[in-house]
Structure 1
Amino acid sequence: MTRSQDELLATTRRTLLHRIAVAQRDGRAPSLVAAVVRGGTTVWHGARTSMDDHAPDENVQYRIGSITKTFTAVLVLRLRDEGLLDLSDPLERHVPSTGVGEITIAQLLAHTGGLAAETPAPWWERTPGSLRPELGDVLGPHPLCHPVGRRHHYSNPGYTLLGALVEEVRGAPWEEVLRREVLEPLGLHRTTVTPQAPHAGGWAVHPWADAMMPEPAEDLGRMAPAGQLWSTTGDLARFAAFLAQGDDRVLGAESLREMRTPAAPAELGERGAGASYGLGLQIVHQGGRSLVGHSGSLPGFLAGLAISVEDDVAAVVLANCTSGPATFTVAADLVRIVAEAEPRIPAPWRPMSEVDPAVLELVGQWYWGTQPFGLSAPADGGLVLGPLSGVGRGARFRANDDGTWTGLDGYYEGELLRSVRREDGSVSHLDLGSFVFTRQPYDEHAPVPGGVHPDGWQGIA
C-alpha cells in the first residue's frame, strides 16, 4: 500500500503519542488532546485521558483562554485593512472617554500600552463578568502600571479595549462580529463563546494529592475578547493553517506576516531571552526554530498553539486542568518532532519564467565599503542581498513599479534599494537607504560618501 504524501510515518506518530502521554501523566491532567498540522492539513490527532472508557476527539471543546486574543487581533487588522482605522491611531479617536485614550491601537495589540496586567479585584477569571459591566470597571481607577509605549507588559484589559474598539467601529457585539467575519468563513463551527456539547469540564488538581475539584466556568462579560472562547483541536488546527497561510476572505498573507513580526520584546524570563510579541501573537525562538502562536489559561483549562511557518508545521495542545502540563511547550515539541523526523521536501528548483536584462545587470558581487555582498535574483521575482563573508546585514526585496526595490525583512525592512545609473545608462552603484554599494571596494568612479583617498590603496612603508 502506498503511503499518502500527508500521512506521517508510524515512528513519528508513536513519538508524538509518547510526548503527549508523558505530558498528561507528569502534568496530572484529567485529559489532554493534541493535533498536528502540516501543509495546511491536520495529519495527526492524539489524546490521553484518566477515563478508561473513552478519550476526547478533535470535536470536544476545551476553553482556550488567551488564544482568544489572537482572534480579536485578526478582527482589528481587518478593520485596518478596510481603511476604517490606522494602527497608529490613539484609542480615543474611536473609543472615547476611557481615560487611557492616548494609547495607540498598535500598542494595545502588542501589550506596550502600559496597562495593568489584570482588572481590579476580585479575580476576573473566577467571578461573573456582570461585576465589570463597563470599561471603567475593567480598567479601575489606576489603569496604568508603566509609561505608555515604554515597555512590554502583558495586559488582559488591553484586549477588552480592543474588543470595545471592534464593537464601536462595526456597530455590533464582539462575538457577533467574530462569528460573522472569522469563524464562519474559516469553518470554525465548534468555536463558540459558551460551551457546546461535547465539551470537557474544567478541573483543579490538588498539588499534593491525586484528587480533583471542579472549577467554575464564568462568562467573562466585557473581558470576553481577552479569553472567553471555547474551541477544539480540529478548529484550532484550521485556525493555525490560516495564521500561517492567510485567507483573503478573512485576512491576507501580508497582514498575517505583520502580525507575526515582533512589535515588542517580551518580559524578561517570561519565555526566555529569545521571546517577543507581535500583534496578537507570541513569538518564541527555541532550538534554532522560530515559533508563533499563543498560550492560554483559565481556571480548569490550559491551551497552547505553536506554528513554525518555515517548517510548515503547527501543533495544538489542550488540557482541562488549572495548572499542570506546559501546553505551549508541548505544542512546540510536537512541531519539532515532525519537523526533524520528516523535514519538508522542498519544491523542485525552477528557472524564471521571464528573464529581465535590467535585473541580470544588478546581480553579482557588490561592496559596502570593504565588505563583499552578493545580490541574487531568485525565480520569485525578488532580490536577495547577503554578506559573502563574516556577519552582515541581509534582506529580501520586492520590486516596485518604478524600478526600485523595497526591503521585506531584517535591518532593511521598508528601506528603498535603487540602482543609480551613469549618463551612458550603465549602473554606477546601488543606493540602499543612503548606503552606497559599489562593484569594487570604495570604487573611485562612484560617489562614495566621504570620497576616496587620491593615493588609493597602500601598503606599509
Structure 2
Amino acid sequence: MSGLDRGLERALARGEELLLRAPVAGGTVAIRTSDGERVAAFGTAGPGGPPMPVDARLEIGSISKSVAGLAAARLAVEGRIDLDAPVRALLPWLELPLGAGEPSLRHLLGHTAGWIAGSDALPGERAQALALGETVAGSRPGAFFHYSNIGYVVLGLALEAACGRPYPEIARRLVLEPLGIDGAVTNLTGARRGELCRGTVPLRDDAPWRPADGIAEAPWLEPAGADGNIAATAGELLRFARALTDPGSFAASAPWLPEAVAVASAPSAPSGEGVLDVGPHLPAPGDRYGFGINAEPTARGTVLTHGGGMAGYGAFLVAHPEAGISVAVLLSGPGERPYAELLARECHAVAVGADAAPGGADPIGALQVPRVPLDLDPVSAGGVAGTYRSYSPWVPHLEVGRDAGGRLVLRAYAGVEAPTEDVPLVALPGEGARTFRVGSDPRLPERIRFEGVIDGVAHVLVRDGGRFARVVDR
C-alpha cells in the first residue's frame, strides 16, 4: 500500500472514531503525494444530514489568513506595497490600542503587533478596527507572538486601501483564481449560505460535551474580514496546499508564486502556533510564524501548516515541500477543538512513513480532559465569580470561579473564540476596579472588567468590548 493510501486510510479511520466520540457530524480529507491525489468523505453533511459528499464546501476559517498572507507577499514582491510601512500610512483613521507603538503590515502578518486576539462584540470589519482604540497593547511591535484575528481584519482593510477594491475581490483575483481555485467562496453572506455544508456544534455550550449530549446545527455568521472569510472544498484547499508545496508547478498561471511563497513562509515572528502534541505527528521544535503560515522545522524538512476554526467548522492544511506531500481536512464540527489538525497531522505522518511518531495511544481521549467544577460563589471572589452569557456565537458562555488551587480563572466549554483551557485572571488595580488581565503572562493584552455591581455582586462582564450578563448557574 502506498503512503497516499495509508495516510488516507488512517485519517478516515480516525474520522469515523470522531463520529462516535466527539461533536463532529462529518468531514472530508484530501491528500496528494508523488503517487497521486485522493479525496474522501465520512459522516454526514451537518447534523442529521445526508452522507457527506467529497465536494462539500465548508468554511476554512483562519486558513483564510494564509490566503491573505500570500496576497500581501505577492503585492510586496511586485513592489505594490511596503511591508515595513506603518499600518496608519494606509489607514490614517485607525486609532491604535494604548501603548501600541506604530505597527507595520509585517507585524500584523506575523501576529506581533501586540494587539488583542479579537473582538467578539461587533460583526463589521471597520467597526472592529474602530474599537481597537478602547483596548490595551500587551507588548511593543515585533517583540511577542500573540495570535490576533483583529490584526488580520485590519490587514485586510489596509490591503483594500492599497488596491482600491474590496478584500474578498483581492483574495479571489490576486491568489485563488491564479491558482485555479475559482469555486471558493470569499464573501460568506446569506446569499451563499445554501452552497455550504451545515456546521455542527455541541447541543450544550455550558458543560463538558459527552456523546449522550448530542449535536446541533451551528448558527449562521457572515465573516468578511481577512481573518476568516473563505469557504472551499477539500479538493480546493488541497490545491492551495499544493501551491505551498510545489509553487513552481503553477508557473504558467502564477509566475510570482515561488517568490511570494518564500516571503510568506519565512519566519517573521519569534515563535509560532505550536504543534498539536497528541496523535501521530512529526515533532517540530522551534516552529515560527510567517505570513499566515506556520513554519515547522522537522527532521524531514520544513513543514508548512495552518488551521482554521469557525462556529461549526474546523479545517487544517499541511504542505511538506521536501516530501512532496499536501494534506487538507475539513470538518463539520466545533472549530475550537483541534480535531481537523489531529486528522491532518496523522494523515501526513503516516504518508511520510513516520508511523512511530509520538502522540499517545488515545489522542481523542487526550483532547477530552475532565474538568473539575469551579467554585462559583461570588462572595469568595470579590463579587465577580459566577456564570455569564452573551448572544455572540463566538463566545456564548463563560464561567469565572476559583479552581482547586484557589486561583481565579476564566473557563468556557464551547465557542470558537472562547478559551479552550482554564485561564488565570490577574487583578490589575492600576487599570481600574475589578479589572483583570486574561492570562498570567504580562505581555498578554486581553482584559476583563466587571461592572453593574449590586449589593457587592457584579452583573456585567466586559471582555475586550464584548458584554456578558450574569445568569443563574444552570
With normalisation by structure 1, the TM-score equals 0.64
Pick from 269, 290, 307: which aligns with 1:295?
Answer: 307
State the 1:10 CA deviation.
Answer: 5.4
Return the match for 2:295 from 251, 273, 283.
Answer: 283
- 1:356-408 Cα distance to aligned partner (Å, 9 max, x none): xxxxxxxxxxxxxxxxxxxxxxxxxxxxxxxxxxxxxxxxxxxxxxxxxxxxx
Question: Residue 44 of structure 1 aligns with which residue?
Answer: 38
Q: What residue identity is the alignment partner of 2:232?
A: S
Match of 2:376 in 1: none
Aligned-partner SS, 1:97: coil
Which amino acid is 2:141 matched to?
V
Q: What is the CA-CA distance between 1:317 and the residue it aligns to?
A: 1.0
Report SS of the residue matched to 1:20.
helix
Contact 1:69–1:227 (8 Å) recurs in 2: yes
Cα RMSD, aligned residues only? 2.9
Query: What is the SS of the residue equivalent to 1:45?
Result: strand
**1:268 Cα deviation after fit:** 8.5
What amino acid does structure 2 have at the position aligned with 1:63?
E
Question: 1:231 matched to which residue of 2?
Answer: 232
Give, as a single letter, the amino acid of the residue that structure 1 aligns with 2:258.
Answer: A
Counterpart in the other structure of 2:169:
176
User: For 1:105-254, what aligned pairs fall within 5 Å after superposition?
Assistant: 105-119=105-119, 121-122=120-121, 129-130=123-124, 133-134=126-127, 136-192=129-185, 193-194=187-188, 195=192, 197-205=194-202, 206=204, 207-208=209-210, 209-221=212-224, 224-246=225-247, 247-248=250-251, 249-250=253-254, 251-254=256-259
Q: Which residue of 1 aligns with 2:317?
A: 305
Match of 2:263 among 258, 261, 272: 258
Alignment partners' CA distance in 2, 1:293 and 1:230: 18
Whole-Å Cα distance in 1 between the matches of residues 267 and 112 of structure 2?
12
Provide the rounded CA distance (Å) in 1 between the counterparts of 2:14 and 2:226: 32
Classify 1:84/1:227 alpha carbon distance in 2 versus 1 (closer, same or farther; 3 Å).
Answer: same
SS at match of 1:177: helix
Larger relative CO (CA 8 A, sep 6+): 1 or 2? 2
Q: Which amino acid aligns with 1:179?
A: R
Larger Rg: 1
How far is the alpha carbon of 1:277 from its aligned partner?
0.8
Contact 2:293/2:306 (<8 A) preserved: yes
- 1:264 match: secondary structure: coil
- Amino acid in structure 2 at the alignment position of 1:202: G
Kindly state the Cα deviation for residue 147 of structure 1 after the two structures are TM-superposed.
Answer: 1.8
Residue 327 (structure 1) aligns with: 340
Q: Is this contact kept in 2: 1:264–1:277, CA < 8 A?
A: yes
Deviations 1:286-321 (A, max 9, x none): 676632121010111111111111111011111111
The equivalent of 2:410 in structure 1 is: none
Counting matched residue pairs gives 327
* Partner-residue secondary structure (3-state), 1:295: strand
CA shift at 1:204, angstroms? 1.2
Task: State yes or no: 1:32 paired with 2:27.
Answer: yes
SS in 2 for 1:258: helix
Which whole-Å deviations, capped at 9, do the CAs of 1:26-71 have from their partners, x for residues lacking one?
A: 33310121110224x9612222105799532332111111011111
Kept in 1: contact 2:143–2:270 (CA 8 A): no
SS of aligned partner of 1:117:
coil
Task: Please state if 1:314 is matched with 2:326.
Answer: yes
Aligned equivalents of 1:87 and 1:133: distance in 2? 21
Cα distance change, pair 21–263 in 1 and its aligned pair in 2 (3 A): same
Corresponding residue of 2:17: 22
Q: In structure 1, the residue corresponding to 2:216 is in which secondary structure?
A: strand
Q: Separation in 2 of the partners of 1:148 and 1:331? A: 32
The answer for unaligned runs of 5 or more in structure 2 is: 278-284, 356-474
What residue in structure 2 maps to residue 361 of structure 1?
Answer: none
SS of aligned partner of 2:353 = helix
Q: Is the 8 A contact 2:64 2:226 kept in 1?
A: yes
Cα pair distance change 1:13/1:102, threshold 3 Å? closer
Deviating above 4 A after TM superposition, structure 1's stretches of 4 or more consecutive aligned residues are: 7-13, 50-54, 267-273, 285-289
Identify the range of structure 1 (258-267 vs 168-177) with the bigger mean alpha-carbon deviation. 258-267
Q: Would the alpha carbon gap of residues 274 and 219 (structure 1) be closer, same or farther in structure 2, given more than 3 Å must change?
A: same
Q: Give structure 1 stretches of 5+ with no counterpart.
A: 343-461
Partner residue of 2:57 out of 56, 61, 83: 61
Check whether the contact 2:107–2:142 (CA below 8 A) recurs between aligned residues.
Answer: yes
- Which is further off, 245-254 or 85-94? 245-254
Of 352, 355, 380 in structure 2, the residue corresponding to residue 339 of structure 1 is 352
- 1:94 matches 2:93: no
Q: What amino acid is the match of 1:280?
A: G
Residues 44, 20 of structure 1: alpha-carbon distance in 2 compared, 3 angstrom cutoff:
farther
Corresponding letter in the other structure for 2:333? C
* 1:104 has 2:104 as partner: yes
Alpha-carbon offset, residue 166 of structure 1: 1.2
Answer whether contact 1:202 1:299 (CA < 8 A) is retained.
yes
* Alpha-carbon distance in 2 for matches of 1:153, 1:36: 30
The CA distance in 2 between the partners of 1:182 and 1:70, in whole Å, is: 10
AA in 1 matched with 2:26: S
Task: Give the whole-Å Cα distance in 2 for the aligned partners of 1:17 and 1:239.
Answer: 21
Q: Give the secondary structure class of the aligned counterpart of 1:151.
A: coil
Shift of 1:243: 1.5
